[in-house]
Every structure is written in structure tokens, then in C-alpha cells.
Structure 1
Amino acid sequence: MPELLTEYGLLSLFLLSFCAATLLPLGSEWFLVVLLLEGVSPLSTVAVATLGNSLGAATNYLIGRWGGDWLLSRLLRIDTKQQQRAEIWFNRYGSWALLLAWLPIVGDPLCVVSGSLKTPLLRFALLVTIGKGARYTSLAFLTLQGISSLS
């Protein structure tokens, strides 16, 4: 399995990043680090991971906008407690809370709540992409710093 992931490098990162923001309880950060350790371009890895994860978040947004309770509970496995917590954050900070859509536990519900509250799609996409891009950029920077300090 690891060989299959690394053989398709950036495509694997895109798919893993997308899925990590939607249905599956996955993380994509570890694979970004693996690709960086293999010498793949930091700019490419950050861009691909950010795009995949942001599009996955957009899927959650669309489910919130047009989906129903079945999609939330069965497909995304977002329970009422998670959704209420996300609504509290969203009501407190407004759409700016979407900068934190990368956080575990509240990130996916934030995107769903944003869709159900009909946040304008452009605003949603911009804030989510900035937040997710900052996370991947920070991870890449720390990884590269660690590599250079070991050399």
C-alpha cells in the first residue's frame, strides 16, 4: 500500500486530502511530510494538499446547503453535539470561524453549518482555503526546517 501511494505521489496526496475533509477519518498531513522527505517540491505538495482538502470541505458545505439529516448523520457521521458546537462557533465568530475549518472535530461541522446558513460560496472558499493553506504551509515549513537541521 505505501508503494502505491508514493508511486502516484501528488495524485495520492490530492485524493487523501480530499477524503480527509469529507467521509473518511483520515489525515493527509503525514503523507505531505513523506513526499517532502522524498524531495517533492514543497510548493506543489502544499498547493495540491490545500486544493484537495478545500474541495473536500466544499463537499461538506454543499451537503449542508442542500443535503438532509440522513447525509449528515449517515454519510458524514456528524452527530447533533458536533453540529451544535459548530453552530456556537459560527454564531460567535461568524464566517471568520471558517479559517479554522482545518481543526479536528469542529472543522467538518463548521463547513456543513456554513452551507446550511447559506454563507456565500466565494467567501466560504476563500476563508477555508486560507486556513487550510496556512496549516499545510506551516507543516511544510516545519518539516523542511527539521530536514535542514538534521543535515
Structure 2
Amino acid sequence: MLAGLIVSGRGDPALLLAVATIGNTLGSVVNWSLGRSIDTLRTRRWFPVSPERYEQASRTFRRFGEWTLLFAWLPVIGDAFTLAAGAARVHLAVFLALVAIGKAARYAVIVAGGLWAIA
């Protein structure tokens, strides 16, 4: 949707970048919150990550630590990273900073690509 809005010329690119980053980062906070209660929630049918994906993300998170949050934008495993961060009790301010940086970088590439396509 972001690329479509950029290519169609609808909206200020900087504002679209900010809204996409903030919205997606706040969505990740939901996963962080779920991760803080993972022991009681992970068996629920609606839980957003499969046990296998969560274990894979947990191993990566234990190996590389908080820096994995820079990759929270990745499809499939990014949500598991944010859950693992909640379970590991990563401080919310650190979580927000790292997730926002990663997501902003991703959306900046999308915005730049859209602007390049219409130039």
C-alpha cells in the first residue's frame, strides 16, 4: 500500500514514511506484550507464531541478543523476534528504538523505490 500511495502521488512521502513506521512499530509492541506473557498464551489457537517459528527465533535471539530487533520487519520471523524480546524482558525503550530503526529503514527503501519509479 505504501508503494502504491507513493507511486500514485497521494500523500507526502515523509508523512507516509512516519505513519507506516509508527503504526508498524506499535503493532510490534502488541507482540512484545504477548511475549511477556508467553508461558500462559503460547498454547492458544490465536497465538500469532507457531511453536517451531518461536523456537527458531528464540535461538537466534539468544545468540545475537537485542540486535535481532533491527530485523523485526522480516516476514514470518520478525514477529517471532518481537515475541522473543518480550519473553526475554527487553526494556520497552530499547525495544522501541531498535524496532523503529529497522522498520523505518525498510519503509525508507520502499518510499525511495516508489519515488524513483515516478521520476
TM-score by length of 2: 0.92
| RMSD of equivalent CA atoms | 1.5
Instruction: Work out which of the residue numbers 97, 110, 120 in structure 1 matches 2:81.
Output: 110
Structure-to-structure mapping, 1:2-41, within 5 angstroms: 31-39=1-9, 40-41=11-12
Query: Is 1:73–1:79's contact at 8 Å kept on the other side of the alignment?
Result: no
Q: 1:38, CA displacement in angstroms?
A: 2.6
In 2: Cα distance, 1:94 partner to 1:67 partner: 18
Secondary structure at 1:119 match in 2:
coil
Which stretch shows the higher mean deviation, 95-104 or 32-41?
32-41
Q: 1:139, CA displacement in angstroms?
A: 0.6
Q: 1:74, CA displacement in angstroms?
A: 2.2
Is 2:115 the counterpart of 1:138? no
**Alignment gaps of 5+ in structure 2:** none
Provide runs of 4+ in structure 1 moved above 4 Å.
none
Letter in 2 for 1:87: S
Q: 1:75, CA displacement in angstroms?
A: 2.3
Q: 1:79, CA displacement in angstroms?
A: 1.1
Is 2:52 the counterpart of 1:81? yes
In 2: Cα distance, 1:72 partner to 1:137 partner: 36
Cα distance change of structure 1 residues 100 and 44 upon mapping to structure 2, 3 Å threshold: same
In 2: Cα distance, 1:67 partner to 1:110 partner: 13
Secondary structure at 2:75 match in 1:
coil
**Alignment gaps of 5+ in structure 1:** 1-30
Instruction: Work out which of the residue numbers 93, 97, 110 in structure 2 matches 1:126.
Output: 97
Which fold has the larger relative contact order, with Cα–Cα distance below 8 Å and residues 6 or more apart in sequence? 2
Cα distance change of structure 1 residues 53 and 77 upon mapping to structure 2, 3 Å threshold: same
In 1: Cα distance, 2:96 partner to 2:13 partner: 22
Query: Is 1:66–1:116's contact at 8 Å kept on the other side of the alignment?
Result: yes
